[in-house]
Amino acid sequence: MNFLLFGCIAYILGSIPTAVWVGRAWYNLDVREHGSKNAGATNTFRVLGKKPGIIVLSIDVLKGFLAVFLPHLVLFNKIENDVLIQIQIVSAIVVVLGHVFPVFANFKGGKGVATSLGVIFGIHPLAASICLGLFLIVFIIGNYVSLGAIVASFSFPIIIKFVFSETSLWLNTFSVILSFAVIIAHRKNMVRLVNGNESKMYLFKR
C-alpha cells in the first residue's frame, strides 16, 4: 500500500510540467516548440531567460526532493529502514518518469536532470553535493550543460559505492539505473558534442 501511495504522489509531482506552465503563463509560448524543444530548465534558460529558468530549475529540483523525502517524513521509525529505502527508490524512479512523461503535458516532458538532482539530495545529500560540484566544474570550464550532466550522472554510482562505501544493494542498484537513464536521455547531446555542434551556455556573462 505504501509503495502504491507514494508512487502515485511521486508521479503527480513529477508530472508538474514547470517549464511548460511557466512559458504559457508568462510568455504565451510552449518551450517545447523552441530551442532544443525540451521541457526542462536548460531550455527554459535558453528560450525564456534567467529568471524563469531559475524558477523552473528550483521547482523541478524540489519535485524530486519531495518525492523521496515525504516517505521518510511519514514512515521514519514506523517501518524497517530497508523497506523505507525501497519505497524512496521506487518514488525516485517514478518522479523522474513523471517528469519525462508528464500526464499534465501530453507525456512530453524534460530529460529529468534537475528532478534527478532533487532525488539524490533527498536520498543522499552528500553524494548529491559532490555531483553538483562536478557538474558546475565541467559546466563552467566547458560551457556545456549536457556534458556537466553526463559527467555528474556517470559519477553518481561511483561516488555512492567507493566514496561512501554504501552497502545497500537497493541504493547501489538505483544509483546505476538513474545514472544510465540520465545518460541515455542525453544520447543526442553526446552525438552533438562529438560532432562539435552542441549549443553552449554561459553561467557568467561573457
pLDDT tens figures, 74-126: 998 888 888 999 999 999 999 999 999 999 999 999 988 899 999 999 999 99
CA distance 166 to 187: 29
C-alpha cell at 153: 550522472
> What pLDDT score was predicted for residue 24?
95
> What pLDDT score was predicted for residue 205?
60
> What pLDDT score was predicted for residue 192?
92
Which class for 124: exposed (0-12), middle (13-18), buried (19 or more C-beta within 10 A)?
Answer: buried
Distances (CA, A) of 173 to 113, 180, 204: 18, 11, 36
C-alpha cell at 52: 524563469
Distances (CA, A) of 164 to 41, 109, 124: 29, 33, 10
**In which residue ranges of the chain is pLDDT below 50?**
none
Q: What is the pTM of this model?
A: 0.87
Which candidate, 191, 83, 64, 47, places its Cα nearest to that of 131? Answer: 64
